[in-house]
Amino acid sequence: MSYPLTAVGSLLVGLLESYSSFLASTYKEVIVFTLIIPVLLWRSLVSPHSDEDEE
């Protein structure tokens, strides 16, 4: 993953969190994590895994 893409993603999460605090402050964390968890799952399924136990 590239650093500019990471910076853009963190800015989007920050904006989403600030807007959700105005719209539904009670569910601010729920809204953010509901959008982050599918991205993390997708990244873990798409990225190749290496076996660290092999020697």
| pLDDT, one tens digit for every residue, the chain (55 residues) | 578 888 988 898 888 888 877 777 777 778 788 888 888 888 888 877 766 655 5
Place of tokens 């190749």: 48
Q: What is the pLDDT of residue 11?
A: 92
**Domain-embedded: residue 50:** no
Range of the domain at 39: 3-44
**Domain-embedded: residue 7:** yes
Record the tokens describing residue 38, joined without a space.
Answer: 């599918």
Between CA 5 and CA 11 the distance in angstroms is 10
CB contact at 8 A, 28 and 21: yes
The pTM score is: 0.58
**Domain-embedded: residue 25:** yes
Between CA 31 and CA 33 the distance in angstroms is 6
Q: What is the pLDDT of residue 1?
A: 59
